[in-house]
Amino acid sequence: MSIGGSDLDKAISQLRACRPIPENQVRELCYKARELLIEEGNVVGVDAPVTICGDIHGQFHDLMELFRVGGDVPDTNYLFMGDFVDRGFYSLESFLLLLCLKVRHPDRITLIRGNHESRQITTVYGFYDECLRKYGSANVWRYCCEVFDYLALGALVTGAATSLPPTSAPLADNANPDSFPSDDSEIEVETLNAQGEIMYRYARNSDSQSSNPTSNPASSSPIAPTPSRTGAAGTGATSSANGSKSNDTGAVLCVHGGLSPLIDTIDKIRLLDRKQEVPHEGAMCDLLWSDPDEIDGWGLSPRGAGFLFGADIVKCFNHRNDLSLIARAHQLVMEGFKEMFDSTIVTVWSAPNYCYRCGNVAAILELGEDGSNAGFVRRSNGERGGGGGGWILGSNVDGNGNRRLSSVLGEGALGQRARDGPGRRYRVFEAAPQDSRGMPAKKPVADYFL
């Protein structure tokens, strides 16, 4: 049975209602998806505007909330950075819906691979068991795993705007308008809640001082702020270094995990043979498993796969490849997003109340379109300071009750941060009310390192 045309639209409607489609339709869908994906390179080119999303992990109702907050396909151009399956109760419906939307609107949704898009991982963390439970055999799991092998390893976003256009959205109840930049300032970062209300704004090239960083409580995020460093600007040895003057039109690289010591240029990612099960080591493994951390150079990862990498690695990679930002997922962030290393890398997490118990919020990152096609402005070499307290979530409250943005936007020595890069609008949202029906029991799995 073909799943083209009206059959595809019916399948989308059925999946939006959180009902699985017949096995023969899954087979046809996966076949068509592979035909599409095989034409994409290892690094997919994506034009702004685009909305970048992190891990979904089978939390179907929260995926529907994400579409409500960010706009539906094809009205919004989406880029999902992997980990569609495992952990949640509806991995099957979540992944098949995204796959249907990819086949139906191939130019409006981009899917790249996460470390959970793997045969070995899905047999441990829930997706395999879910397919058995819902179809009575492993056939659908095999069809999906064949699609996993064809997913791209990364995406390169070009044409993003440097600043955000002014928005007329109302202020959130707990926003602090006194901390907002003046009306004539160029906005670089804006955070909205699920109702579209403005929670925080940050102006480009702001010279405002945040309070002493030593008063900042430990963030609930597993990623710590950039440590203070000394050394030549642009090498990553200084906390105020912010890239190189050569990044006139820097793009945004999106990968699921992070960088690899075997990959110093994006062209080397393009040369990898991606059509295989995720290896246990090597460049492909690192791209899906690695994490940024407050270290110098490379370090061993506690996950047992991939590496830890520091600010110097990120800044040198961005400089060499003319990047203004690396966007990645892979790590739970209680605040939904977290920028590190002078905003040269950001973690985006899109599964609220992860595993239905973690209590975190989720976020998506919107990059606007630069109508002049000029790309990003020239980035500084660390001569400007910046900072600013502000509001993002209640978990970022200092000892005086002042809400802080530093734990998600990073912070350098003495509260000063040099910042530049694309205009970034984060939409933060909480978990959708879960339908208590159809919540199947799941056998417990090991604590999360994968």
Q: Which tokens in the block code for residue 80? A: 């999902």
Q: Is 155 left (phi over 0), alpha (psi -120 to 50) or beta?
A: beta
Burial (CB < 10 A; 0-12, 13-18, 19+), residue 276, is exposed
Contacts of residue 136, Cβ cutoff 8 Å, sequence gap at least 6: none
- Cis ω before 165 (30° cut-off from 0): no
Residue partners of 101: CB distance under 8 A and separation at least 6: 12, 73, 108, 109
Instruction: Identify the burial level of 143 via C-beta atoms within 10 angstroms of its C-beta, where 0-12 means exposed, 13-18 middle and 19 or more buried.
Output: buried
Count the neighbouring beta carbons within 10 Å of the beta carbon of residue 172. 17
Residue 82 and residue 288 in contact, taking contact as beta carbons nearer than 8 Å: yes
Query: Which of the following is catalytic: 57, 61, 116, 330?
Result: 116
The three-class DSSP label of residue 142 is: helix
What is the secondary structure of 16-54 as a DSSP string? HTT-PPPHHHHHHHHHHHHHHHTTS-SEEEEESSEEEE-
Rounded Cα–Cα distance for residues 218 and 225 (Å): 10
Conformational region of residue 306, where left means phi above 0, alpha means psi within -120 to 50, and beta covers everything else: left
Catalytic: 330? no
Which residues, other chains included, contact 284 with Cβ-Cβ below 8 Å and sequence gap of 6+? 153, 272, 274, 276, 278
Per the structure block, which two tokens stand in for 356? 């239905």
Active site residues: 116
